[in-house]
Structure 1
Amino acid sequence: MEDKRNFSRTGKPHNITIENRERISISGVTNVVSFDEETVILETDLGVLTIRGQGLHINKLNLDDGQVSIDGEVINLNYSDKSGLIGKSGGFISRMFR
């Protein structure tokens, strides 16, 4: 039996394309939470996406279309629930420094 659930909440597609671990293109992005050369944190319709790597650089950002393109060495991608971004115990920044 095939699972054909539609996970997109806004009707916009959420896709990720990685080219040789050097460039990542993402659609369905609603917000850039934070970024530096080692971590980019994005809100998507399907949860918070954390991208870890080295020399990361956002070279294209269009939140109206939900498009983000990042260059650099991609090491790890991780999804978490949107509720994990701001929780009862302070918030994202306070939890980072625990």
Structure 2
Amino acid sequence: MEDTTNTNPLRFETNPYHNVVIKDRKVMELTGVKQIDSFDSSEFLMETAQGWMLVQGKDLTLGKLDTERGDVIIRGLIESLSYVSNKKGNGKDSVISKLFK
């Protein structure tokens, strides 16, 4: 199976609005996503118009990516959603390390 970890962030323009819709914990629709920093089958780390967001779950996949509008759809079992920080810091590790303090 191919490793879906993204080592280079996907950065794109977005509108200033940020919305999250979760349907039956299986589909998450997001607007206002500025970049996807990293993702794999258990978590997505994204910068949104409202700060950094971490989505965790099982069998997560990127269902849709609209870089012009900043729309993202994530499919899989959604277990948690959290906003981490408004600033990225020096890199992904600094954001992740803030989660475990």
Tell whether the 8 Å contact from 2:37 to 2:92 is kept in structure 1 after alignment.
no
What is the count of residue pairs matched by the alignment?
85
Q: CA deviation at 1:95?
A: 6.7
Larger radius of gyration: 1
Residues of 2 paired with 1:23 and 1:78: CA distance?
16
Residues of 2 paired with 1:72 and 1:38: CA distance?
9
Which one of the candidate residues 62, 69, 72 is aligned to 2:66?
A: 62
Percent identical pairs in the alignment equals 29
Deviations 1:24-59 (A, max 9, x none): 000000100000000001100110010000000001
Provide structure 2 residue ranges, at least 5 long, that are not aligned to the other structure: 1-13
Structure 1 match to 2:35: 31
Provide structure 1 residue ranges, at least 5 long, that are not aligned to the other structure: 1-9
TM-score (norm 2): 0.74
